[in-house]
Amino acid sequence: MLDIGLTIFNGLSWGMATFLVAAGLTLIFGILHILNFAHGGFFMIGAYLSYTVMASIGGGLPVWLYILVALAAGIAVALMGILVDMVIFRRLRGVEDAYVLIATYALLLVCIGAVQLVWGLNFMSVMPPPALNSAFFIGDLIMPTYTLFVIICGVLVFVGLEVFMSFTHTGQLIRVVAMDSWMARLLGLDVKRIYLITVVISFALAGLAGGLLSANQSLSPELGGVFLLQAFAVVVVGGMGSIRGAFLAAILLGLIESFGSVFFPQYPGIYYLIALAVILLVRPQGLLGREQTA
Protein backbone atom coordinates (compact mmCIF):
# COMPACT_ATOMS: atom_id res chain seq x y z
CA MET A 1 0.00 0.00 0.00
CA LEU A 2 1.23 3.43 -0.91
CA ASP A 3 2.30 5.59 1.97
CA ILE A 4 1.30 8.99 0.64
CA GLY A 5 2.58 10.92 3.65
CA LEU A 6 6.07 9.44 3.41
CA THR A 7 6.20 9.87 -0.35
CA ILE A 8 5.31 13.55 -0.09
CA PHE A 9 7.85 13.98 2.69
CA ASN A 10 10.57 12.38 0.55
CA GLY A 11 9.59 14.58 -2.36
CA LEU A 12 9.86 17.72 -0.25
CA SER A 13 13.21 16.56 1.06
CA TRP A 14 14.54 16.09 -2.49
CA GLY A 15 13.02 19.39 -3.52
CA MET A 16 14.41 21.52 -0.71
CA ALA A 17 17.88 20.01 -0.83
CA THR A 18 17.93 20.73 -4.55
CA PHE A 19 16.50 24.21 -4.08
CA LEU A 20 19.33 25.08 -1.68
CA VAL A 21 21.74 24.46 -4.56
CA ALA A 22 19.47 25.89 -7.28
CA ALA A 23 18.79 29.22 -5.52
CA GLY A 24 22.23 30.66 -6.22
CA LEU A 25 22.26 29.16 -9.68
CA THR A 26 19.03 30.80 -10.79
CA LEU A 27 20.02 34.12 -9.17
CA ILE A 28 23.25 34.37 -11.14
CA PHE A 29 21.48 33.37 -14.34
CA GLY A 30 18.76 35.95 -13.86
CA ILE A 31 21.26 38.80 -13.53
CA LEU A 32 24.41 37.86 -15.40
CA HIS A 33 22.84 35.40 -17.88
CA ILE A 34 25.58 32.94 -17.06
CA LEU A 35 24.55 29.33 -16.56
CA ASN A 36 27.18 28.51 -14.01
CA PHE A 37 28.40 24.91 -14.14
CA ALA A 38 30.95 25.78 -11.48
CA HIS A 39 28.13 26.29 -8.99
CA GLY A 40 28.22 22.55 -8.30
CA GLY A 41 31.96 22.77 -7.74
CA PHE A 42 31.71 25.59 -5.21
CA PHE A 43 28.83 23.81 -3.51
CA MET A 44 31.17 20.86 -3.11
CA ILE A 45 33.97 23.06 -1.80
CA GLY A 46 31.55 24.45 0.77
CA ALA A 47 30.69 20.91 1.88
CA TYR A 48 34.36 19.91 2.15
CA LEU A 49 35.29 23.08 4.02
CA SER A 50 32.62 22.53 6.64
CA TYR A 51 33.63 18.87 6.85
CA THR A 52 37.17 19.93 7.69
CA VAL A 53 36.04 22.41 10.32
CA MET A 54 33.64 19.95 11.91
CA ALA A 55 36.17 17.13 11.89
CA SER A 56 38.67 19.36 13.71
CA ILE A 57 36.08 20.42 16.30
CA GLY A 58 35.12 16.81 16.92
CA GLY A 59 31.81 14.97 17.07
CA GLY A 60 28.61 15.88 18.90
CA LEU A 61 28.12 19.38 17.58
CA PRO A 62 25.14 21.42 18.75
CA VAL A 63 22.80 22.46 15.95
CA TRP A 64 23.64 26.17 16.19
CA LEU A 65 27.33 25.40 15.71
CA TYR A 66 26.52 23.23 12.71
CA ILE A 67 24.62 26.13 11.17
CA LEU A 68 27.42 28.52 12.09
CA VAL A 69 29.97 26.33 10.33
CA ALA A 70 27.74 26.22 7.25
CA LEU A 71 27.49 30.02 7.31
CA ALA A 72 31.25 30.30 7.60
CA ALA A 73 31.62 27.99 4.61
CA GLY A 74 29.21 30.27 2.76
CA ILE A 75 31.36 33.31 3.55
CA ALA A 76 34.55 31.54 2.51
CA VAL A 77 33.03 30.52 -0.81
CA ALA A 78 31.63 34.04 -1.28
CA LEU A 79 35.18 35.38 -1.05
CA MET A 80 36.17 32.98 -3.82
CA GLY A 81 33.22 34.41 -5.74
CA ILE A 82 34.83 37.86 -5.72
CA LEU A 83 37.93 36.42 -7.32
CA VAL A 84 35.93 34.43 -9.89
CA ASP A 85 33.90 37.47 -10.88
CA MET A 86 36.95 39.68 -11.31
CA VAL A 87 39.09 37.14 -13.15
CA ILE A 88 36.56 35.18 -15.19
CA PHE A 89 32.96 36.36 -15.28
CA ARG A 90 33.86 39.93 -16.22
CA ARG A 91 35.58 38.66 -19.34
CA LEU A 92 32.57 36.60 -20.35
CA ARG A 93 30.22 39.54 -20.90
CA GLY A 94 29.22 39.64 -24.51
CA VAL A 95 30.78 36.27 -25.27
CA GLU A 96 28.66 33.66 -27.08
CA ASP A 97 26.47 31.49 -24.83
CA ALA A 98 28.25 28.30 -25.81
CA TYR A 99 31.64 29.64 -24.75
CA VAL A 100 30.23 30.92 -21.46
CA LEU A 101 28.88 27.47 -20.68
CA ILE A 102 32.18 25.88 -21.55
CA ALA A 103 34.15 28.38 -19.48
CA THR A 104 32.09 27.70 -16.37
CA TYR A 105 32.40 23.98 -17.05
CA ALA A 106 36.17 24.44 -17.13
CA LEU A 107 35.92 26.18 -13.78
CA LEU A 108 33.96 23.19 -12.45
CA LEU A 109 36.83 20.95 -13.53
CA VAL A 110 39.25 23.23 -11.69
CA CYS A 111 37.10 22.90 -8.55
CA ILE A 112 36.96 19.12 -8.83
CA GLY A 113 40.71 18.95 -9.40
CA ALA A 114 41.37 21.23 -6.42
CA VAL A 115 39.16 19.10 -4.18
CA GLN A 116 40.97 15.96 -5.30
CA LEU A 117 44.33 17.56 -4.58
CA VAL A 118 43.38 18.89 -1.16
CA TRP A 119 41.07 16.19 0.19
CA GLY A 120 41.89 13.16 -1.95
CA LEU A 121 39.61 10.72 -3.71
CA ASN A 122 38.35 8.85 -0.66
CA PHE A 123 34.80 9.09 0.54
CA MET A 124 34.33 11.13 3.70
CA SER A 125 31.27 11.56 5.82
CA VAL A 126 30.01 14.05 8.36
CA MET A 127 27.81 12.93 11.23
CA PRO A 128 24.78 15.16 11.65
CA PRO A 129 24.60 16.91 15.05
CA PRO A 130 23.11 14.52 17.67
CA ALA A 131 20.04 16.70 17.99
CA LEU A 132 19.35 16.16 14.29
CA ASN A 133 20.06 12.44 14.37
CA SER A 134 16.68 11.30 15.65
CA ALA A 135 13.21 11.17 14.15
CA PHE A 136 9.73 12.60 14.61
CA PHE A 137 6.72 10.33 14.55
CA ILE A 138 3.35 11.55 13.33
CA GLY A 139 1.09 8.54 13.32
CA ASP A 140 2.83 5.95 11.12
CA LEU A 141 4.98 8.57 9.46
CA ILE A 142 8.65 8.57 10.46
CA MET A 143 10.40 11.84 9.71
CA PRO A 144 14.15 11.99 10.33
CA THR A 145 14.94 15.28 12.06
CA TYR A 146 17.86 15.95 9.73
CA THR A 147 15.60 15.74 6.69
CA LEU A 148 13.13 18.02 8.41
CA PHE A 149 16.01 20.40 9.13
CA VAL A 150 16.94 20.49 5.43
CA ILE A 151 13.34 21.20 4.43
CA ILE A 152 13.15 24.06 6.94
CA CYS A 153 16.47 25.45 5.70
CA GLY A 154 15.19 25.38 2.14
CA VAL A 155 12.06 27.29 3.05
CA LEU A 156 14.05 29.79 5.15
CA VAL A 157 16.51 30.45 2.33
CA PHE A 158 13.61 31.00 -0.06
CA VAL A 159 11.82 33.39 2.29
CA GLY A 160 15.09 35.17 3.07
CA LEU A 161 15.86 35.67 -0.62
CA GLU A 162 12.35 36.91 -1.36
CA VAL A 163 12.53 39.42 1.50
CA PHE A 164 15.98 40.53 0.41
CA MET A 165 14.95 41.03 -3.21
CA SER A 166 11.71 42.82 -2.37
CA PHE A 167 12.51 45.01 0.62
CA THR A 168 16.18 45.91 0.70
CA HIS A 169 17.72 48.60 -1.44
CA THR A 170 20.40 46.28 -2.82
CA GLY A 171 17.80 43.66 -3.67
CA GLN A 172 15.77 46.20 -5.57
CA LEU A 173 18.84 47.36 -7.46
CA ILE A 174 19.55 43.77 -8.44
CA ARG A 175 16.02 43.44 -9.78
CA VAL A 176 16.43 46.64 -11.76
CA VAL A 177 19.57 45.30 -13.40
CA ALA A 178 17.83 41.97 -14.08
CA MET A 179 15.04 43.80 -15.86
CA ASP A 180 17.20 45.98 -18.07
CA SER A 181 20.91 46.25 -17.42
CA TRP A 182 21.41 48.67 -20.32
CA MET A 183 18.86 51.11 -18.98
CA ALA A 184 20.22 50.69 -15.46
CA ARG A 185 23.66 51.70 -16.70
CA LEU A 186 22.17 54.63 -18.53
CA LEU A 187 20.55 55.82 -15.31
CA GLY A 188 23.93 55.88 -13.64
CA LEU A 189 23.77 52.68 -11.63
CA ASP A 190 27.07 50.96 -11.01
CA VAL A 191 26.08 47.78 -12.84
CA LYS A 192 29.51 46.23 -12.41
CA ARG A 193 29.18 46.48 -8.64
CA ILE A 194 25.70 44.96 -8.72
CA TYR A 195 26.99 42.08 -10.80
CA LEU A 196 29.70 41.54 -8.21
CA ILE A 197 27.17 41.60 -5.36
CA THR A 198 25.02 39.05 -7.21
CA VAL A 199 27.96 36.73 -7.76
CA VAL A 200 28.94 37.02 -4.10
CA ILE A 201 25.41 36.19 -2.92
CA SER A 202 25.14 33.31 -5.34
CA PHE A 203 28.47 31.85 -4.25
CA ALA A 204 27.58 32.36 -0.59
CA LEU A 205 24.40 30.37 -1.21
CA ALA A 206 26.44 27.61 -2.86
CA GLY A 207 28.80 27.42 0.11
CA LEU A 208 25.95 27.57 2.61
CA ALA A 209 24.12 24.77 0.78
CA GLY A 210 27.32 22.72 0.85
CA GLY A 211 27.66 23.22 4.58
CA LEU A 212 24.02 22.48 5.37
CA LEU A 213 23.86 19.37 3.20
CA SER A 214 27.31 18.05 4.11
CA ALA A 215 25.86 15.65 6.68
CA ASN A 216 23.38 14.24 4.21
CA GLN A 217 25.79 12.21 2.10
CA SER A 218 29.25 10.84 1.77
CA LEU A 219 31.56 13.45 0.36
CA SER A 220 33.44 12.61 -2.81
CA PRO A 221 34.67 14.64 -5.77
CA GLU A 222 31.56 13.38 -7.62
CA LEU A 223 29.28 15.31 -5.28
CA GLY A 224 29.20 18.49 -7.34
CA GLY A 225 27.89 16.82 -10.46
CA VAL A 226 25.03 14.95 -8.80
CA PHE A 227 23.41 18.01 -7.28
CA LEU A 228 24.26 20.21 -10.23
CA LEU A 229 22.13 18.22 -12.63
CA GLN A 230 19.13 18.26 -10.31
CA ALA A 231 19.61 21.98 -9.75
CA PHE A 232 19.82 22.61 -13.51
CA ALA A 233 16.54 20.80 -13.99
CA VAL A 234 14.92 22.86 -11.24
CA VAL A 235 16.25 26.14 -12.64
CA VAL A 236 15.15 25.35 -16.19
CA VAL A 237 11.69 24.12 -15.18
CA GLY A 238 11.17 27.07 -12.87
CA GLY A 239 12.04 29.55 -15.59
CA MET A 240 15.67 30.63 -15.72
CA GLY A 241 16.37 33.46 -13.31
CA SER A 242 13.16 33.12 -11.34
CA ILE A 243 13.69 32.31 -7.65
CA ARG A 244 10.00 31.72 -7.02
CA GLY A 245 9.87 29.50 -10.09
CA ALA A 246 12.84 27.49 -8.87
CA PHE A 247 11.16 27.00 -5.50
CA LEU A 248 7.94 25.75 -7.12
CA ALA A 249 9.84 23.60 -9.59
CA ALA A 250 11.91 22.07 -6.79
CA ILE A 251 8.76 20.96 -4.99
CA LEU A 252 7.11 19.77 -8.20
CA LEU A 253 10.09 17.79 -9.46
CA GLY A 254 10.74 16.42 -5.98
CA LEU A 255 7.19 15.08 -5.80
CA ILE A 256 7.38 13.66 -9.34
CA GLU A 257 10.67 11.94 -8.55
CA SER A 258 9.37 10.63 -5.25
CA PHE A 259 6.05 9.30 -6.60
CA GLY A 260 7.79 7.94 -9.70
CA SER A 261 10.18 5.94 -7.56
CA VAL A 262 7.26 4.51 -5.60
CA PHE A 263 5.27 3.42 -8.65
CA PHE A 264 8.23 2.34 -10.79
CA PRO A 265 11.03 1.54 -8.36
CA GLN A 266 13.24 0.02 -11.05
CA TYR A 267 14.69 3.29 -12.33
CA PRO A 268 15.02 5.84 -9.52
CA GLY A 269 16.51 9.17 -10.55
CA ILE A 270 15.07 9.46 -14.05
CA TYR A 271 11.55 10.73 -13.39
CA TYR A 272 12.54 14.34 -12.81
CA LEU A 273 14.50 14.24 -16.07
CA ILE A 274 11.47 12.96 -17.96
CA ALA A 275 9.35 15.63 -16.29
CA LEU A 276 11.92 18.22 -17.36
CA ALA A 277 11.59 17.18 -21.00
CA VAL A 278 7.78 17.11 -20.92
CA ILE A 279 7.47 20.46 -19.16
CA LEU A 280 9.90 22.13 -21.55
CA LEU A 281 7.92 20.86 -24.51
CA VAL A 282 4.71 22.32 -23.15
CA ARG A 283 6.19 25.48 -21.63
CA PRO A 284 9.66 26.16 -23.05
CA GLN A 285 10.12 29.26 -20.92
CA GLY A 286 9.54 27.32 -17.69
CA LEU A 287 6.83 27.68 -15.08
CA LEU A 288 7.45 31.34 -14.20
CA GLY A 289 9.92 32.33 -16.90
CA ARG A 290 9.54 35.30 -19.17
CA GLU A 291 8.57 34.61 -22.79
CA GLN A 292 11.69 35.89 -24.47
CA THR A 293 14.19 33.73 -22.59
CA ALA A 294 14.67 31.09 -25.24
Q: Which residues make up the interface to another protein (CB under 8 A)?
A: 35, 88, 91-92, 95, 97-99, 101-103, 105-117, 120-121, 225, 229, 232-233, 236, 240, 266-270, 273-274, 276-277, 280-281, 284, 294
Half-sphere exposure (Cβ direction) of 259: Cα atoms closer than 13 Å: 9
In terms of CB distance, is 5 or 225 closer to another protein?
A: 225
3-state secondary structure of 141: strand
User: Alpha helix (H) ranges present in the chain?
Assistant: 4-32, 38-57, 63-87, 97-119, 145-167, 169-179, 181-186, 191-213, 223-238, 243-263, 271-282
Nearest distance from C-beta of residue 183 to another protein, angstroms = 23
In terms of CB distance, is 54 or 103 closer to another protein?
A: 103
Nearest distance from C-beta of residue 89 to another protein, angstroms = 11
Residues 27 and 243: beta-carbon distance below 8 Å: yes
Amino acid at 103: A
Nearest distance from C-beta of residue 222 to another protein, angstroms = 9
In terms of CB distance, is 95 or 187 closer to another protein?
A: 95
Euclidean distance between CA atoms 286 and 249, whole angstroms: 9
Nearest distance from C-beta of residue 128 to another protein, angstroms = 27
In terms of CB distance, is 73 or 233 closer to another protein?
A: 233
